[in-house]
């Protein structure tokens, strides 16, 4: 059967890596694209970036950060289990070319798309610098993986337990000032992408961001994923997910991401209740 | 052989019953406004017999001319009269493979029933209700029996999309012995029949039973497969499919481009209905997908999609649902029956009203600003063009807005299929037979015509199946 989990790793209490058998997808998908996943029959459709694409082994990888019901359901799956639905590859691939110096900025699950993108950028002849951060050193993930292809991996932690003490955006600024950049790609929480874009703006460095609006189908059918870029409404799934970070209406994105906060909390409570052992 | 006890009507009785069509039992508006169960409950055998006896079995068969696929209407009604309901279902299926669906959702008043001879003097025969009755009867009584497996032809056909167009092509070709695979982007087959049209108008179990029936013919369903992304049309041809049929529908939602349209609480009808129907948000949190259950909802538009959205909003628990439409009641493009149902259920029709802005507060919808319209000179479509009454703007307080102003062509297939001729609006150019500009590639349904109807899509599928079959047979000769 399809979508069998071949490998699972717990990277952090809230971050899970899965390698999944999906030969057709692996043949077709490109760095920067995503899939739409459903955990079970009652499940919601959620978008997840492709964290690795291995056509030779016929597998794709996903990195799941547990936030609500679906991501939590996925996190409970084990090797040998099957994921109910995986559809894709959705969206456009990230344009891979020789730009020169490419800086990747990621946090949390943002490392997922950055891994295949960074590798492809390196293969295209770019110098690749990765910047990643977390609250503290023990929460850092993917540092080693990014190191596989990066010319340099720069770290920041809020508490200074590793690398620069402070935010990834400060490291980004320092790196641009010191060595310049031809392209910055930022992926992670909207707030991080927003500030990364604000950081690169004064230096006029082209900045790509991978937007994560709420989605349903991922095929352009519902319009849930509307984002505003350069004053124009676009669909995150079919027009993106990559957009020019300097043109994105960040406040709108963040506001729309909050649409279902109340319902999500309710769903999570119902879900954890139903999973709790009966006393 | 008659399967049921038939009732003979006397001449006198027939004269009497012809005067008015047999009403179809329905859930009371007050009750049904709170549940998602089907509104119309369907004829009993007795009611069906009564209605069938209203038909005059006209030689001219005007009704048939009104049906886009020319269902043999007098003939099937005659079989109903004789009590041979299964035979009647078979008769319909000679022309229409989806009678349980079409009987429910066809705009009969502008198709078959509009030309019914009886309708000139009295109410037309309730053809749709009878069609629905026989299809439901057949399903409940074990269907039409086993279909003999045809001899495999060795040809393989790929069908993109599992809406009425794709399902019809697939079933017709499979019956001839071609090997058919349907590629569907979503996790469930049925197209608009499962994600768009609500449960209370078309129970999903009925769609599923059609899909199961087609699967039992040997048609393979590849769900979660977006053609143009996972495989392109050209790759399907390279992978050994001898022909590809594109029935991908007109699924791209349109917006008005007025201020405030991206506020939280503004939905496209597609999103609103997909969350509710396909994802079962009305059963949240038993199902994981949420939806905002607005208390005051404005639905913008006047078609079937708008009626469905308004009535869905009501069932999700809204206190007040407005239908905002820029023309008048006469121009409403929705099925008459659904407009009638919506009125009965208490939907507030704001006619000759056009939104100009959606007003927000802290990112959420608070109201919809509209202007009053009046009807001016007729436009290209022959309908009188609505023009704005100066200074007439007013605000309706709502917390949810559903935009239901039409759909366009989805770009995924056009973008990924070189050599496919498109119209200016991005639809696929295909002739009457379903042939496109690309050899071996056929298309039909909404992706060719723009949003239309279930029966037109099914009809296009049927014609394309004939064309594809001919095309495949011509390949043998070479
Ligand atoms: C293109 C794209 C790529 C993504 N890649 C990854 C990834 O690689 N790994 C990862 O862990 N997450 C990724 N996300 C985010 C992920 O989709 C959400 O975290 C997920 O939907 C949460 O679902 P849930 O049921 O667990 O939580 P919920 O309780 O449904 O949601 C919690 C929060 O997640 C966000 N969210 C909810 N539903 C969606 C949705 N359908 N789409 C997007 N955001 C939503 C909202 O901000 C919401 O407040 C990506 C999102 C997009 C659009
Ligand atoms: C809410 C609503 C109510 C309606 N009510 C009525 C009514 O009462 N009566 C009536 O006659 N008509 C009605 N219609 C119109 C009718 O449903 C459509 O005209 C009809 O479904 C069109 O059929 P189709 O086969 O062309 O496409 P669709 O039904 O749209 O099916 C297309 C399918 O293709 C899939 N698809 C799209 N792109 C791809 C791709 N790249 N790869 C794989 N799969 C793909 C889609 O997911 C979808 O499942 C209504 C429509 C809506 C939206
Ligand atoms: S398919 Fe539709 S139009 Fe044709 S006879 Fe049946 S209900 Fe009427
Ligand atoms: S036109 Fe009306 S009365 Fe005449 S055969 Fe058709 S359905 Fe019967
Ligand atoms: S997710 Fe539905 S259109 Fe983008």
Q: Identify the three-state secondary structure at position B292.
A: coil
pLDDT confidence bin for A110, thresholds 50/70/90: confident
Tokens standing for residue A78: 């084990």
For the cut 80, the answer to whether the pLDDT of residue B8 exceeds it is yes
Least confident of B19-33, B124-138, B363-377: B19-33
DSSP state of B109: G
- pLDDT of the residue at B100: 93
* Span B398-435, pLDDT tens digits: 999 999 999 999 889 998 999 999 999 999 999 999 99
For the cut 70, the answer to whether the pLDDT of residue A131 exceeds it is yes
Q: Which of A27, A71, A87, A239 to mutate to test the interface with B (most CBs of B within 10 A)?
A: A87
Cα B280 to the center of its chain, rounded Å = 19
- Long-range own/partner contacts, residues A246-252 (CB < 8 A, 24 or more apart): A246/A197, A246/A200, A246/A201, A246/A207, A248/A193, A248/A194, A248/A197, A248/A209, A248/A211, A250/A190, A250/A193, A250/A194, A250/A197, A252/A227, A252/A228, A252/B262
> Under an 8 A CB cutoff, do B271 and A256 touch?
no
The complex's ipTM? 0.93
By CB atoms closer than 10 A (0-12, 13-18, 19+), residue A112 is buried
Q: How many CB atoms lie within 10 A of CB B40?
A: 17
- pLDDT of the residue at B145: 57
For the cut 50, the answer to whether the pLDDT of residue B59 exceeds it is yes
Q: Identify the three-state secondary structure at position B237.
A: helix
Average pLDDT on A14-42 reads: 95
Average pLDDT on A237-244 reads: 95
Fold designation for A5-90: Elongation Factor Tu (Ef-tu); domain 3 (2.40.30)
> Which of A43, A86, A226 is opposite residue B262, by nearest beta carbon?
A226
Cα A133 to the center of its chain, rounded Å = 14
Q: Which of B250, B265, B290 to mutate to test the interface with A (most CBs of A within 10 A)?
A: B290
By CB atoms closer than 10 A (0-12, 13-18, 19+), residue B234 is middle
Q: How many CB atoms lie within 10 A of CB A72?
A: 18
**pLDDT, mean over chain B:** 92
What DSSP letter does each residue of chain A carry, written as one string?
A: --SBEEEEEEEETTEEEEEEE-HHHHHH--TT-EEEEE-STTPPPEEEE-SEEETTTTEEEEEEE--SHHHHHHHT--TT-B-SEEEEEESPPP-----SEEEEEEEGGGHHHHHHHHHHHHHTT-EEEEEEEESSGGG--SHHHHHTT-SEEEEEETTSSSSEES-HHHHHHHHHHHH--SEEEEESSHHHHHHHHHHHGGGT--EEEE-----SSSSSSS-TTEEEETTEEEEHHHH-SEEETTTB-HHHHHHHHTTTHHHHHHHHHHHHHHHSPP-
Q: Where are the domains of chain A?
A: 5-90, 101-270
* Contact indicator for B157, B447 with CB cutoff of 8 Å: no
The candidate with the shortest Cα–Cα distance to B287, out of A47, A72, A43, A76, is A43
Alpha carbon of B379 to ligand 3 centroid (Å): 30
A214: contact with B, CB 8 A cutoff: no
For the cut 70, the answer to whether the pLDDT of residue A65 exceeds it is yes
Distant-in-sequence, close-in-space partners of A178: CB < 8 Å, separation ≥ 6: none
- Longest Cα–Cα distance of chain B, Å, equals 71
The candidate with the shortest Cα–Cα distance to B349, out of B307, B397, B386, B408, is B307
What is the Cα Rg of chain A in Å? 18
Please tell me the distance from the alpha carbon of residue B292 to that of residue B302, in angstroms, as a whole number. 22
What DSSP letter does each residue of B126-186 carry, written as one string?
A: -HHHHHHHHHHHHHHTTTT-PPPPPPP-S-EEEEE--SHHHHHHHHHHHHHT-EEEEE-SS
Cα separations in angstroms, B453 against A117, B39, B118, B214: 43, 20, 25, 21
User: Which chain B residue shows the shortest CA-CA distance from A28?
Assistant: B230
- pLDDT of the residue at A272: 80
Q: Is B57 in the pocket of ligand 4 (CB under 6 A)?
A: yes
* Span B444-474, pLDDT tens digits: 999 999 999 999 999 999 999 999 999 999 9
Least distant ligand from the CA of B71: 3
> Under an 8 A CB cutoff, do A221 and B412 touch?
no
Cα B182 to the center of its chain, rounded Å = 19
Four-residue CA torsion sign, B260, B262, B265, B271: positive
User: Which chain B residue shows the shortest CA-CA distance from A70?
Assistant: B288
For the cut 80, the answer to whether the pLDDT of residue A82 exceeds it is yes
* Contact indicator for A216, A36 with CB cutoff of 8 Å: no
Tokens standing for residue B345: 């259920």
Please tell me the distance from the alpha carbon of residue B39 to that of residue B252, in angstroms, as a whole number. 28
> Under an 8 A CB cutoff, do A28 and B292 touch?
no
- pLDDT of the residue at A278: 47
Q: What ligand 5 atom has the least distance to the C-alpha of A237? A: 4
CA distance B34 to chain A (A): 20
Q: Is B328 in the pocket of ligand 4 (CB under 6 A)?
A: no
Please tell me the distance from the alpha carbon of residue A201 to that of residue A210, in angstroms, as a whole number. 17
Distant-in-sequence, close-in-space partners of B333: CB < 8 Å, separation ≥ 6: B302, B303, B304
Alpha carbon of B250 to ligand 2 centroid (Å): 7
Q: Among all chains, which residue has been given the structure tokens 């027939």?
A: B14
Average pLDDT on B149-156 reads: 91
- pLDDT of the residue at B147: 66
Average pLDDT on A219-231 reads: 95
* Contact indicator for B72, B55 with CB cutoff of 8 Å: no
Q: What angle do CA A188, A192, A194 make, to 5 degrees?
A: 115
pLDDT confidence bin for B436, thresholds 50/70/90: very high
> Under an 8 A CB cutoff, do A270 and B275 touch?
no
A88: contact with B, CB 8 A cutoff: yes
- pLDDT of the residue at B279: 95
- Does domain A101-270 bear CATH number 3.40.50.11540? no
Tokens standing for residue A1: 């059967």
What totals of helices (H) and strands (E) does chain B contain, helices first? Answer: 18, 16
By CB atoms closer than 10 A (0-12, 13-18, 19+), residue B361 is exposed
Average pLDDT on B158-177 reads: 96
> Under an 8 A CB cutoff, do A256 and B262 touch?
yes
Least distant ligand from the CA of A268: 1
* Span A154-166, pLDDT tens digits: 999 999 899 899 9
* Span B109-145, pLDDT tens digits: 999 999 999 999 899 999 999 999 999 999 888 765 5
Average pLDDT on B174-182 reads: 95
Q: Which residues of B touch A90 (CB under 8 A)?
A: 226, 229
- pLDDT of the residue at B2: 46
For the cut 50, the answer to whether the pLDDT of residue B202 exceeds it is yes
* Contact indicator for B251, B278 with CB cutoff of 8 Å: no
Cα B52 to the center of its chain, rounded Å = 25
- pLDDT of the residue at B478: 55
For the cut 60, the answer to whether the pLDDT of residue B289 exceeds it is yes
* Span B294-345, pLDDT tens digits: 899 999 999 999 999 999 999 999 999 999 999 988 889 998 889 999 999 9
* Contact indicator for A2, A22 with CB cutoff of 8 Å: yes
- pLDDT of the residue at B146: 59
């Amino acid at each position: 059967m399809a979508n069998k989990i071949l490998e699972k790793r717990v990277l952090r209490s809230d971050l899970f890596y899965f390698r999944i058998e999906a030969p057709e997808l692996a043949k077709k998908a490109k760095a920067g694209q995503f899939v739409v996943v459903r955990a079970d029959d009652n499940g919601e459709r959620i978008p997840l970036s492709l964290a690795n694409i291995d056509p030779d082994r016929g597998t794709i990888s996903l990195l799941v950060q547990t936030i609500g019901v679906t991501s939590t359901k996925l996190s409970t799956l084990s090797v040998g289990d099957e994921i109910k639905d995986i559809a894709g590859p959705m969206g456009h691939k990230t344009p891979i070319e020789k730009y020169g110096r490419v800086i990747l900025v990621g946090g949390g699950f943002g490392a997922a798309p950055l891994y295949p993108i960074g590798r492809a950028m390196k293969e295209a002849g770019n110098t690749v610098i990765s910047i990643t951060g977390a609250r503290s050193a023990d929460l850092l993930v993917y540092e080693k993986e990014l190191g596989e292809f990066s010319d340099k991996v720069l770290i920041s932690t809020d508490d200074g337990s590793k690398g620069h003490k402070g935010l990834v955006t400060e490291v980004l600024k320092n790196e641009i000032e010191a060595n310049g950049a031809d392209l910055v790609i930022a992926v992670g929480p909207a707030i991080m992408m927003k500030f990364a874009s604000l950081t690169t703006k004064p230096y006029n460095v082209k900045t790509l961001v991978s937007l994560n609006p709420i989605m349903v189908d991922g095929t352009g059918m519902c319009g849930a994923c509307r984002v505003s870029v350069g004053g124009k409404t676009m669909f995150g799934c079919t027009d993106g997910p990559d957009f020019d970070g300097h043109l994105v209406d960040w406040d709108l994105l963040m506001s729309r991401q909050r649409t279902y906060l109340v319902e999500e909390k309710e769903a999570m409570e119902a879900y954890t209740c139903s999973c709790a052992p009966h006393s | 052989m008659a399967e049921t006890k038939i009732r003979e009507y006397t001449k006198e009785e027939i004269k009497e019953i012809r005067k008015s069509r047999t009403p179809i039992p329905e859930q009371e508006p007050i009750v049904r406004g709170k549940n998602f169960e089907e509104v119309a409950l369907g004829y009993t055998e007795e009611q069906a017999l009564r209605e069938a006896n209203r038909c005059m079995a006209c030689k001219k068969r005007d009704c048939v001319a009104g049906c886009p696929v020319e269902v043999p209407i007098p003939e099937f009604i005659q079989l109903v009269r004789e009590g041979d309901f299964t035979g009647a279902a078979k008769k319909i299926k000679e022309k229409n493979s989806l009678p349980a669906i079409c009987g429910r959702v066809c705009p009969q008043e502008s198709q078959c029933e509009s030309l019914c001879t009886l309708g000139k003097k009295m109410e037309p025969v309730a053809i749709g209700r009878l069609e629905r009755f026989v299809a439901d009867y057949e399903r409940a009584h074990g269907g039409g029996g086993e279909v003999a497996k045809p001899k495999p032809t060795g040809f393989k056909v790929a069908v993109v999309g599992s809406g009425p167009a794709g399902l019809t092509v697939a079933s017709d070709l499979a019956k001839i012995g071609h090997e058919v695979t349907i590629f569907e982007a979503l996790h469930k087959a049925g197209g608009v029949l499962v994600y768009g049209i609500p449960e209370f108008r078309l129970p999903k179990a009925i769609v599923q039973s059609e899909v199961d029936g087609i699967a039992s013919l040997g048609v393979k369903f590849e769900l979660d497969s977006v053609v143009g992304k996972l495989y392109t049309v050209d790759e399907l041809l390279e992978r050994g499919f001898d022909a590809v049929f594109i029935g991908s529908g007109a699924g791209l939602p349109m917006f008005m481009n007025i201020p405030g349209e991206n506020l939280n609480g503004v939905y496209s009808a597609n999103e609103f209905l997909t969350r509710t129907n396909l994802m079962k948000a009305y059963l949240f949190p038993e199902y994981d997908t949420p939806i905002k259950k607005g208390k005051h909802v404005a639905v913008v538009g006047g078609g079937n999609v708008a009626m469905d959205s308004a009535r869905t909003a009501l069932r999700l628990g809204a206190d007040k649902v407005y239908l905002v439409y820029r023309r008048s009641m006469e121009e409403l493009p929705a099925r008459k029956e659904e407009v009638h149902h919506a009125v009965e259920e208490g939907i507030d029709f704001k006619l000759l009203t056009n939104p100009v802005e959606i007003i927000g507060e802290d990112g959420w919808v608070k109201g919809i600003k509209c202007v009053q319209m009046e009807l001016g000179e007729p436009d290209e479509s022959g309908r009188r063009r609505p023009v704005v009454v100066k200074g007439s703007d007013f605000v309706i307080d709502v917390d949810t807005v559903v935009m239901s102003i039409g759909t366009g062509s989805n770009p995924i297939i056009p973008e990924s299929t070189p050599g496919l001729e498109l119209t200016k609006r991005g639809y696929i150019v295909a002739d009457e037979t379903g042939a496109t500009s690309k050899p071996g590639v056929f298309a039909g349904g909404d992706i060719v015509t723009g949003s239309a109807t279930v029966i037109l899509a099914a009809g296009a599928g049927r014609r394309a199946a004939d064309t594809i079959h001919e095309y495949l047979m011509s390949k043998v000769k070479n």
